[in-house]
Amino acid sequence: MSTQTPDTETESEAEQPSSKPHHERRLAEKRERAETKEAERAAAAQEIKGETVELKVFRFDPEIEGKEEPRFDSFTIPFEKGMTVLDALIYARDQYDSSLTFRHSCRQAVCGSDAFFINGRQQLGCQTQMADLDWPVRVEPLPHQDVVKDLVVEMDHFYDQMEAVDPFFDPDDLPEGELEEQRQSPENRENIKLSTRCIWCGACMSSCNIAAGDNKYLGPAAINKAYRFYMDEREGEQKRQERLEIIEQEHGVWRCQTQFSCTNVCPKDIPLTEHIQELKREAVKQNLKFW
Amino acid sequence: MAERYSSFRSGSTAWLLQRITAAFLVVVLAFHFFNLHFVTHAANIEFAGSQARMQNVGYFVTMVLFLVTATFHGVNGIYNALVNQGIEGNAKRAAQVVLGVAGLLLVVQGIRVAIALAGF
């Protein structure tokens, strides 16, 4: 079960060749202790009262000998009502193998750290109930991203794409008074409401077939971010134009083939594909305008 | 895509044309199948019949438009599928040239055949 490399006794091998019996005795004792510990742990696993669920977790660490080959480890987790996949992973890490690595923070679907590939679908670990899944539950890192270790994937490319659409306000004019708010109409707020929910978890990008093949494609999250600012009435005209030019590049909105996989997996239920389509329409309209 | 964009290049025209040709093709393809597969069965299509149909100016114009739109839709579709796969540089240039030339040849030869059939 454990993926830690087995403890090896290296301390006194070369130092004291004369004390061989002593050395052997120590090794035997150590082995015995390890066996007892292992047996205790196995017994503890069997002793779990009530329902248990098997958690199969992807393991990989290029820096650790014995973990260079990707594999799945199985953990027996005591099931409790309301248990999420993240809870199960935390249990596995705390009780069985402290080297099990995954990102998590808020545990309430706000921070966007724990998007995993759970039973073949991109989902947030903290938002997914074990009870809703087919058992055994298989947890893998997000596909189409480089795996750093276990369930941790490289997010740099995703963040680069997010930043490529200039995700910030650049209004033409600010309100007079220093403490004056930048007002937005309720209707406009409704328009962009769903797009503001993005938590940068990367599930959409990971599920997108096109983003998998074309690394230059902005991806659903970045285009949604562009939508959030483009559609906001408070945005400045200059910036709106600049952002439109970014998203209507060849590898911008046009690469979307409306497969809706991003919309399907979004943990915040953002209608990503619709937002991309709206921006395509917007780009066409702006380019057709000759007056 | 992380780098800044240096130049403005719009894909909106191709995208819009792909959709307009799609809408046109749905209607004309339905007409084509209805006319030449379901009403007149494939086995009964004869050269003389084709010649007669092509002499109707409306039919002739529709068929030429059918050829042009279908070629654009097909060639542009394949090109975009390749771009979706992430082809770049020389491969992309080659795809543009090969598909462009193939499309052009198809349209030119198709129109020549249409004119020959119609006897114009």
pLDDT digits (tens, 9 = 90+) for A77-110: 999 999 999 999 999 999 999 999 999 999 999 9
User: Residue B12: its pLDDT value, please?
Assistant: 77
Say if the Cβ atoms of A218 and B1 lie within 8 Å.
yes
CB contact (8 A) between residue A248 and residue B5: no
pLDDT(A114) > 90: yes
* B38 part of a folded domain: yes
CB-nearest to B5 from A215, A246, A287 is A246
- DSSP label at A255? G
Cβ pair A255:B84 closer than 8 A: yes
- For residues B41 and A273, which has the higher predicted lDDT (pLDDT)? A273
CA distance B99 to A55: 50
pLDDT tens column, B37-82: 888 888 888 889 889 999 999 999 999 999 999 999 999 999 999 9
Whether B6 maps to a domain, the answer reads no
**Is residue B3 one of the residues assigned to a domain?**
no
Residue where the block lists tokens 């307009």: B20
d(CA B68, CA A139) in angstroms, rounded, equals 50
Q: By percentage, how much of chain A surpasses pLDDT 90? A: 66
3-state helix, strand, coil in chain B (%, to 5): 80, 0, 20
Query: Tokens at residue B92, please?
Result: 């992309």
CATH topology of domain A49-152: Ubiquitin-like (UB roll) (3.10.20)
DSSP SS3 for A232? coil
State mean pLDDT over A237-261: 91
Tell which of B7, B8, B9, B12 to mutate to test the A interface (max A CBs under 10 Å): B12
Give the structural domain span for B69: 12-118
The answer to whether residue B53 sits within a structural domain is yes
**Spatial distance between the Cα atoms of B25 and B39, rounded to a whole number of angstroms:** 19
Kindly state the tokens that stand for A64: 């650790």
- A217 contacts on B by Cβ (under 8 Å): 1, 84
Domain count, chain B: 1
**Which residue shows structure tokens 């679907």?**
A109
Give the residue among B12, B23, B36, B9 at the shortest CA–CA distance from B73: B23
Contact A252, A223 (CB under 8 A): yes
Q: Is residue B23, in this structure, part of any structural domain at all?
A: yes
Q: A250 vs B5: CB contact, 8 Å cut-off?
A: no
d(CA A241, CA B16): 20
Q: Give me the residue spans of the domains in chain A.
A: 49-152, 156-172+185-288
Asked whether residue B87 is domain-assigned, the answer is: yes
Architecture of domain A156-172+185-288: Orthogonal Bundle (1.10)
In a domain? residue B1? no
DSSP states of A17-68 as a string?
GGGHHHHHHHHHHHHHHHHHHHHHHHHHHHH--S-EEEEEEEE--TTSTT-S
d(CA A275, CA A228): 9
CA distance A251 to A103: 30
**Can you name the residues that pair with A117 across neighbouring β-strands?**
A122, A140
pLDDT confidence tier of residue A35, bands split at 50, 70 and 90: confident
Give the Cα separation of A75 and A96 in Å (integer).
Answer: 8
**Average pLDDT of span A239-261:** 91
Residue A220 forms contact with B (CB below 8 Å): no
Q: Do B10 and A160 touch (CB under 8 A)?
A: no
Q: At what angle do helices B47-54 and B89-118 cross, to 10 degrees?
A: 90
Six-digit token pair at B98?
Answer: 């090969």
Quote the pLDDT of residue A37.
76
> Is residue B66 situated within a structural domain?
yes
Query: Which residues in A lie closer than 8 A to residue B13 (C-beta atoms)?
Result: 287
Q: If you search the block for the tokens 């990503």, which residue do you land on?
A: A272
Mean pLDDT of chain A: 88
| pLDDT of B4 | 41
